[in-house]
Chain A
C-alpha cells in the first residue's frame, strides 16, 4: 500500500508542481511570444513530418516483419525496436555519424545532391522519426500478426490481388491499431529532445522545437514561457492518452 502510494506520488506530484506554478494569467501572452509561437509551429510541422515518415516507411516494414519469413527476421525486429531503449542523445550522435555532413551516408548524399540534414528542419524530422517510428512499427506489426487471415483469403477467391486486398481488407482491419500506434508515435515525436538537439541543433525557427525552447527558457530564467509551453505539451499528452483510453486503459 505505502509503496503503491509512493509510486503514485512520484507520478502525480510533479504534475501538481507544474500546474501550481503555471502562469495562468499570462498564458496567452507567453504562448503568443514570437519565439514560443515559432517553436510550437515548428513542433507541429516536424512531428507531423516524422509521423508521415514513420507511416510511409514503418507500416510496410511492419507488414514484412509480421507476414514474411526470412533469415534474420528476429535480428531486424530487435534492431528496429532499439531506438525505444537507446538514450536519445546516443541516437542523435549515431545519426550525426551516419547522416551528418561528414557521416558516411550523409557525405554521399551531400556529394550527389548537395542536400544535407544537419541543422535544418529536415534534420529535426529525421531525428524525431528515428525515435518515434519504433512505436508505430511495434503496434502495427502486432496488429498484422494477430489479424485473422480469413478475410484476405476470401478476398483472394473473389479475384482481388495482393495490393487490392491490402488496401481494402487488411488496412481497414488494422486501422484502429494503426491509429493508436500513430498517435503514440506522434506524441513521442512531439516530445523528442535529445536526438533532435544533438543531430539537428538548436536554431530558432528551423530546429528549435518546443522541448528545446522549454529547456533553453528554464536555463536562461524565462520560467513563465517554459511553464506555459510545458502545459501545452502536457495537455497534448493527456489528449493522446484520453484518445487511446479504450485501447490501453480499458479494463482487462
Chain B
C-alpha cells in the first residue's frame, strides 16, 4: 500500500512542509541534519503529533485530514515505529515485548507468544526471550524493538534513527540485521537518519530534509553522486560549488571561473572529489585547466592520507598523501595553489 503524505505543521521553531510518497518498491531513507524535522515527520505519520494542514493516506484509507477534522489515532493506523531509544516495556520480557502488539490486537496468548518467538529468532535473539530489557545490550534491545514493530505487520514501518543510540561496536551487527529485515519486509519502509552512510547501508532511495523542507530526493546513487545541498555534499565527502554555466565555463558566485569537461548552460552545481584536487606551493606547470590560489587551512590526518581545507575564491577540501603534507609543510598554513583537471569536474543543473 502506498503511503502518501502532505504534511504542514509548526512545532516550536520548526516549520515542517513535506510532500512524500512511499511504496513497497524501495526502502526510503530520510536524511538531514539535526533539527531538520525528521523525528517530527515520523511522529506526524504515526499520528503522535497532529497536522496543522495536509493529509496522510495509507493505501485507500485517509488517516488524517485536518480540513475534515479526521484524525485516526496511532493504534488504528497500521503504522509501526522503531524509536531511537528502544522504548521497550521495562516490566516485560523480550518475548512479552514482541508479543505486546499481537496481544493488544486480540490475538490469543499462546499464538501471540509463538509468533513473537519466531520474530525473536529472526532477529537472532531466540536465547534472550526470557530476559528483561535491563538485561539486554543496547544493540539487542533495539533488535527486540525491531521485532516488536515487525510482529504487528504494519502497512507502514517507520524507523527513527534506529542506530543512533547504539554504541559503535554493536552498530555494525544491528545495521546488518536492519538491512536484512528491511529488504525482506513487504510493507512501506521509511528510515530516518542524520547519517547518509547509514542511509546508504539500508536504503535504496533518499529524501534529503533540511529545515523542514525536502531539498532533494531520488535513487541513492544519484543523490550521493550529485548532492544539491552543502550538508549532503559534506556528509558524502564531496566538494560542492554553485554558479552559472556558459558552455564549458562556470562562473561561481564568488566570481572565480571553473573550466569543465562538459558543456552546460544556466545555474549549475559543480561537484569535485577531494582526491581530484592537487595542492601545490607554487603555480603548477603543465596545463591543468583549473588553477586557483588559496590559503591552507585545517588538516585532518587519516592513515596515510590527509584532508586539507583550502580557503579562497574556490573553497575546497583536498585529499593528499601524508608525504606531500610533510613535503609541502601544509601544516604551516600559508598560500597554496589548487589544481583540478576539467575532466574531473562534474556539473549538473541547479
Contacts and interface: CB of A to CB of B under 8 A. Distances in A.
Given A153-B48, A164-B104, A168-B100, A158 B152 contact: yes
Contacts of B81: 154, 157
Given A150-B85, A155-B100, A172-B91, A160 B48 contact: no
Contact of A156 (B48, B85, B91, B148): B48
A216 interface: no
Contacts of A153: 48, 74, 87
B48 A159 contact: no
Contacts of B101: 158-160
A169 interface: yes
Interface in A160-200: 160-161, 164, 168-169, 172-173
Interface string B154-192: 000000000000000000000000000000000000000
B185 to A, nearest CB: 16
Contact of A157 (B80, B85, B105): B80
Contact of A158 (B47, B48, B73, B148): B148
Given A169-B89, A172-B91, A157 B79 contact: yes
A222 to B, nearest CB: 50
A204 B308 CA distance: 93
A173 B104 CA distance: 18
Interface of B: 46-48, 73-76, 79-81, 83, 85, 87, 89, 91, 100-101, 104-105, 148-149, 152
B104 A161 contact: yes
9 contacts: A154-B83, A157-B80, A157-B149, A158-B100, A158-B148, A159-B76, A159-B152, A160-B101, A164-B104
A159 B46 CA distance: 11
Contacts of A172: 89, 91
Nearest to B79: A157
B149 to A, nearest CB: 7
B75 A150 contact: no
A159 B149 CA distance: 10
Contacts of A161: 73, 75, 104
Nearest to B48: A153
B104 A150 contact: no
Contacts of B80: 157-158
A151 interface: yes
A99 B36 CA distance: 60
B77 to A, nearest CB: 8
Contacts of B74: 153, 156-157
B104 A157 contact: no
B46 A158 contact: no
Which range holds the interface residue count of chain A?
Answer: 10 to 19
List the 3 closest pairs (A to B, CB-CB), nearest first: A158-B101, A160-B104, A156-B74
A251 to B, nearest CB: 23
Interface string A5-41: 0000000000000000000000000000000000000
**Residue of B47, B104, B105, B148 contacting most chain A CB atoms (<10 Å):** B104
Nearest to B88: A154
Contacts of B100: 155, 158, 160, 168
Contacts of B149: 157-158
Contacts of B105: 159
B104 A159 contact: yes
Contacts of B75: 156-161
Interface in A133-155: 150-151, 153-155
A160 to B, nearest CB: 4
Nearest to A164: B104
A218 to B, nearest CB: 48
A197 to B, nearest CB: 43
B287 to A, nearest CB: 61
A160 B81 CA distance: 13
A160 B47 CA distance: 13
Contacts of B76: 159
Given A153-B87, A156-B74, 10 more contacts: A153-B48, A156-B48, A156-B73, A157-B74, A158-B149, A159-B75, A160-B100, A164-B104, A169-B89, A172-B89
A164 B75 CA distance: 11
A127 to B, nearest CB: 36
A158 B87 contact: no
Contacts of B83: 150, 154
Nearest to A148: B87
A31 to B, nearest CB: 40
Given A160-B100, A161-B104, A168-B100, A151 B87 contact: yes
